[in-house]
Amino acid sequence: MPFSMTTFCSGVAVVLMLSYVGLIAMVMSYAALTIEFSQSVRNDEAVVATLESQYLAAVARITSTDYVRSGYTVPVTKIFVPAKAVTALR
Question: What pLDDT digit, counting tens, does each position of 31-51 carry?
Answer: 999 999 999 999 999 999 999
Residues of the chain above pLDDT 70, percent: 96
- CA-to-CA distance for 79 and 31, rounded, in angstroms? 63
Q: Determine the average pLDDT of the residues in 57-74.
A: 88
Q: Determine the average pLDDT of the residues in 5-13.
A: 93
- CA-to-CA distance for 19 and 14, rounded, in angstroms? 9
CB 33 within 8 A of CB 39: no
Residue 63 has pLDDT above 60, yes or no: yes
